[in-house]
């Protein structure tokens, strides 16, 4: 699923064309990094919600099995936990005037020998990510989830470990782009429940600040929608 918020004026034409190209992408199957032996073993189904109005970008990892089936991002237990972290309901979460959802890999990468999701495909971000980001200059907050999103979005602000990066969230918010600050998060997978227990500061310090940031942007977005409706 690839979509743009609202009707597409002429200024959104480039984003619409890009989303159509993403929806048709088969690079990981037809031209995989490392040759045919590394091809995606199933039909690609790119999942990306890009928006010309969204204030917040959720930069995740890659779709899991349930998202691959539904074609809608975070339609799984990880999504339930992420929405709880953000303090939003499904209606707010899937409103493209509030959130854009652009993972590091658009297609489900498959499972490893232990039944866990493989890393995001290596073909995806180099082919598409910069183009998508350039067409969403209105973003005001980026939430980066997991080590692959940390590496792409944080650059030198990324620390040696995921724990060190997330623990450094205050500095990252301050030192990233002031027009569109970045907040690092772990993946909301239930596999990370042990990590959350070992790092109680995540729930007592980071999550309240995250909810406050998100609610501020939601309030502003709702105000803008109301203003446009009144015109």
For 13-57, the pLDDT digits (tens) are: 999 999 999 999 999 999 999 999 999 999 999 999 999 999 999
Instruction: Determine the 3-state secondary structure of 212 from DSSP.
Output: helix
Low-confidence ranges of the chain (pLDDT < 50): 3, 5-8
Total domains in the fold of the chain: 1
CATH of the domain at 218: 3.40.470.10
Q: Which residue has the tokens 């239930």?
A: 190
Q: Which residue has the tokens 């602000």?
A: 157
If one counts every other C-beta atom within 10 angstroms of the C-beta of residue 16, the result is: 16
The Cα angle at residue 63 between residues 98 and 138, in degrees rounded to 5: 25
The Cα angle at residue 72 between residues 66 and 76, in degrees rounded to 5: 40
Rounded to whole angstroms, the Cα distance separating 25 from 163 reads 34
**Residue 11 confidence (pLDDT):** 55
Domain boundaries, position 154: 2-230
Length of the chain: 231
Do 65 and 19 meet the contact criterion of CB atoms below 8 Å apart? no
Q: Is 168 exposed, middle or buried (0-12, 13-18, 19+ CB in 10 A)?
A: middle
Q: What is the pTM of this model?
A: 0.91
């Amino acid at each position: 699923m690839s979509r743009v918020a609202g009707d597409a004026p002429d200024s959104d034409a480039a984003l619409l064309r890009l989303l159509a190209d993403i929806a048709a992408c088969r690079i990981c199957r037809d031209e995989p990094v490392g040759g045919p032996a590394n091809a995606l073993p199933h039909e690609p189904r790119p999942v990306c919600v890009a928006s010309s109005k969204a204030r917040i970008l959720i930069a995740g990892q890659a779709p899991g099995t349930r998202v691959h089936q539904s074609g809608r991002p975070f339609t799984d237990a990880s999504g339930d936990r992420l929405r709880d972290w953000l303090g939003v309901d499904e209606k707010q979460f899937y409103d493209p005037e509030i959130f854009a959802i652009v993972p590091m890999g658009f297609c489900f990468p498959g499972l490893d020998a232990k039944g866990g999701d493989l890393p995001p495909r290596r073909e995806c971000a180099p082919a598409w990510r910069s183009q998508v980001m350039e067409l969403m200059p209105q973003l005001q907050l980026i939430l980066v989830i997991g080590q692959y999103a940390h590496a792409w979005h944080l650059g030198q602000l990324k620390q040696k470990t995921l724990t060190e990066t997330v623990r450094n969230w205050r500095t990252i918010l301050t030192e990233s782009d002031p027009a569109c600050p970045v907040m690092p998060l772990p993946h909301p997978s239930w596999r990370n429940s042990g990590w959350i227990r070992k790092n109680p500061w995540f729930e007592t310090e980071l999550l309240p600040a995250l909810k406050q940031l998100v609610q501020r942007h939601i309030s502003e977005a709702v105000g803008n929608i109301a203003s446009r409706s009144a015109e």
